[in-house]
Amino acid sequence: MFPEIPHWYGPSPGSTWDEFYIVFSGPVFDLWRAGGLLDYSHPPRHLEPLSYWLRRLEESVLTETDSLQQVCSLQHLLAEALEASDNCREPEWLARACRQLESGPGSPRQVARANGMSYDNFRRRFAAATGIPPGRYQLTKRVDRACALMAAERVTNKEIAERLDFCDEFHFSRTFKSVVGLTPAQFRSKMPHPGHKP
Same structural domain, 96 and 57: no
Quote the pLDDT of residue 159: 92
Instruction: Note whether residue 14 is domain-resident.
Output: no
Look up residue 19 and give its DSSP letter: -
Same structural domain, 139 and 127: no
Q: Where are the alpha helices (DSSP H) in 63-196?
A: 67-86, 92-103, 108-114, 119-130, 134-152, 157-163, 169-180, 184-190
Q: Stretch 8-21: mean pLDDT, rounded?
A: 74
Question: Which of 100, 131, 162 is the endpoint of a domain?
Answer: 131
Quote the pLDDT of residue 4: 65
Instruction: Note whether residue 15 is domain-resident.
Output: no
**What are the pLDDT digits (tens) for 116-170?**
999 999 999 888 888 889 998 888 888 888 888 888 778 899 999 998 888 899 9
The residue range of the domain holding 155 is 132-198
Same structural domain, 148 and 122: no
Same structural domain, 43 and 73: yes
41 to 28, 45, 115, 118: CA distances (angstroms): 19, 12, 21, 28
Q: Which of 82, 87, 76, 96 is nearest to 35 (CA)?
A: 82
The number of angstroms, rounded, from the C-alpha of 137 to the middle of its chain's C-alpha atoms is: 10
Give the count of domains, the chain. Answer: 3
Query: Per 3-state DSSP, what percentage of the chain is helix, strand, and coil (rounded to 5)?
Result: 60, 0, 40
Instruction: Note whether residue 174 is domain-resident.
Output: yes
Same structural domain, 58 and 109: no
Same structural domain, 142 and 179: yes
Quote the pLDDT of residue 131: 80
Q: Stretch 19-42: mean pLDDT, rounded?
A: 71
CATH number of the domain at 161, please.
1.10.10.60
Instruction: Note whether residue 20 is domain-resident.
Output: no
Same structural domain, 141 and 188: yes
**What are the pLDDT digits (tens) for 39-58?**
666 666 677 777 777 888 88
Instruction: Note whether residue 119 is domain-resident.
Output: yes
Specify the pTM: 0.52
Contacts of 76 (CB under 8 A, 6+ apart): 60
